[in-house]
Amino acid sequence: MPVKKEPGEMSAFERKRLENIAANRAILTDISATAKKIIPEKTAPKPAAKRSRRSEPVKREAVRPTRMSSRLAGLEADSETLKRKLQVEAEHQVETAKAKKLRVTDDLNLNDIAVEGKKWAAGGLNSLQGIVRGAQPGVRTFTEDDIKETTDKSLKGLRQRMGRLKIYEHWLPNDIKITPQRIYALGFHPMEDKPVVFAGDKEGSMGVFDGSQAPPELDDDDNATTDPEISAFKTHSRTITSFVFSPTDANAVYTSSYDSSIRKMDLAKGTSIQVFAPSDIAVDMPISALDMAHSDPNMLYFSTLDGGVGRYDIRAPGSEEIWTLSEQKIGGFTLHPLQPHLLATASLDRSLKIWDLRKISGKGDLRHPALLGEHESRLSVSHASWSPAGHVATSSYDDTVKIYDFTDSASWKPGHDISAKMMEPKHQIRHNNQTGRWVTILKPQWQKRPNDGIQKLVIANMNRFVDVFASDGSQLAQLDGDGITAVPAVAHFHPTMDWVAGGNGSGKLCLWQ
């Protein structure tokens, strides 16, 4: 006979759920309180006038059902039963495909979308990553001997300093499972008080890890007896592709996704709202990257998988303008941090292109910014990243990291023509970028506002390291540590501090300080 509960008695499940909500709220409140100290509050800007909107994006054809065998199903050819069966299956598969891609348009309370239980299964990807072409797990391509043999004193000092970065010591990377699925995007909150890392995975889940939390108690074998605190939320319905942090509001975190939307999380209010999506919910416009000009946090820039780049004023709904800049996928782009009218795009058409947003011409679908110059690689280019000094770094499937020198860009007039010679890379670094299907594409990321003034970038290494390079192509460090069992493919620098994060295909986080 079941035990009769006393009125008001709480189940173990409900008690655990409330504990998770309280823990998530405490983490976000702490991050919000700390972040608020670094950015002063500003008055709300005046609404901007609406811009003209280009033609609607092309609607995608509905997904067709997979063909089924009627013989195996025991149905006669041309029978009414068979026709009805195929019709029902077709309708079901189309509806299933639509539901899977349907973005969340409502405002969300983070307590309502918190992911229950944060110990997700690893997914078995670690064993597959070792067979990726050219990868040699654990084999270093930059060693202590390279540092010892450096004759340039300033370079040697920089290499020694970057080489002293150590893996986070309180928990091993395998214990810091920040998302349930493969990590596609990372972002450091710009606060300097403590390292707070945001991660997004292939199914739209977001995880937040505070690297300053109290260390766990250890057992007799020096193993942690508790798991790290991680806040986890389901904010998008498909892959999260970028994190952008407002320079004027420390509580605002913007995310883009393949579900065709851009959302804003408010750490103080504990909410997530949609700030942009195509007006027609049936339009599929996967967003591959997101950026924001430091001088104008009200303007969002984004790229799409069908070769478009758009800008959108969050103060003026319906103000988006989208330019077709490539016939193929634009996988990554960035704005110049100090000259935000300069845009660099990387595309599946094998090109790096530099655009000037000060000079936009043409009408309708032919309207676009001025193309200043382009450079073609042997194979597709995955990402183009601007440094504050004016370098552009790209990664390509031709197994190179290329660094271009546009440090004179501050003097360029609108529509400036970059010569073919200037569009040639200044430095080419041999680098294995053959990620295969199990590892997220490797993309170089510059430190946006380095406190030491030295231009440096990070990119993951297929041998399960993270490489650090200077703007002259010299390698500064190869970050490693105990417990790294997969490629930390998504690597990012903190904007100002020498902190580096890397995320892998099992949703696990590496953090170096």
pLDDT at 132 over 60: no
Q: What is the mean pLDDT of residues 392-405?
A: 97
Q: Which helix (H) or strand (E) holds 255?
A: strand 252-257
What is the pLDDT, as a whole number, of residue 128? 32
Q: Partners of 198 in the beta sheet?
A: 187, 208
DSSP secondary structure of 141-158: SS-HHHHHT---HHHHHH
Q: Which tokens hold the place of 235?
A: 């904010």
pTM of the model: 0.81
pLDDT at 4 over 90: no
What is the pLDDT, as a whole number, of residue 225? 80
Strand arrangement of the beta sheet that strand 500-503 belongs to: 490-493, 500-503, 509-512
- In this prediction, what percent of the chain has a pLDDT beyond 70? 80
pLDDT digits (tens, 9 = 90+) for 176-213: 999 999 999 999 999 999 999 999 999 999 999 999 99
Buried b (16+ CB within 10 A) or exposed e, 261-273: bbbbbbbbebebe
pLDDT at 52 over 50: no
Q: Where are the beta strands (DSSP E) in 47-107?
A: none
- Alpha-carbon span 94 to 238, nearest angstrom: 17
**3-class DSSP state of 276:** strand
Residue in 231, 196, 199, 198 with CA at minimum distance from that of residue 212: 196
pLDDT digits (tens, 9 = 90+) for 374-386: 999 999 999 999 9
Write the CA distances from 242 to 7, 51, 127, integer angstroms: 47, 25, 27
Asked whether the beta carbons of 289 and 303 are under 8 A apart, the reply is yes
Buried b (16+ CB within 10 A) or exposed e, 405-425: bbeebeebeeebebeeebbeb
Residue in 204, 127, 196, 197 with CA at minimum distance from that of residue 490: 197
| DSSP label of 66 | P
Q: What is the mean pLDDT of residues 58-76?
A: 51
Amino acid at 461: N
Residue in 282, 254, 280 with CA at minimum distance from that of residue 266: 254
Asked whether the beta carbons of 495 and 294 are under 8 A apart, the reply is no
pLDDT at 97 over 70: no
Write the CA distances from 425 to 15, 334, 360, 383, integer angstroms: 59, 17, 26, 14
Asked whether the beta carbons of 423 and 392 are under 8 A apart, the reply is no
What is the pLDDT, as a whole number, of residue 22? 76
What is the pLDDT, as a whole number, of residue 357? 96
Residue in 213, 218, 205, 222 with CA at minimum distance from that of residue 110: 205
Q: What is the mean pLDDT of residues 300-320?
A: 94
**Torsions phi, psi for 308 (to 5 deg):** -105, 155
Dihedral sign of CA atoms 322, 324, 329, 331 in order:
negative
| Range scoring the smallest mean pLDDT among 65-74, 93-102, 294-303 | 65-74
DSSP secondary structure of 446-485: E-SS-TT---EEEEEETTTEEEEEETTS-EEEEE--TT--
Asked whether the beta carbons of 191 and 449 are under 8 A apart, the reply is no
Asked whether the beta carbons of 468 and 460 are under 8 A apart, the reply is no
Question: Average pLDDT over the chain, rounded to whole?
Answer: 85
**Other CB atoms closer than 10 Å to residue 173's CB: what's the count?**
24
pLDDT range class, residue 77, cuts 50, 70, 90: low
- Alpha-carbon span 50 to 36, nearest angstrom: 31
Asked whether the beta carbons of 299 and 292 are under 8 A apart, the reply is yes
| Range scoring the smallest mean pLDDT among 10-24, 49-63, 239-253, 480-494 | 49-63
What is the pLDDT, as a whole number, of residue 238? 95
Amino acid at 413: K
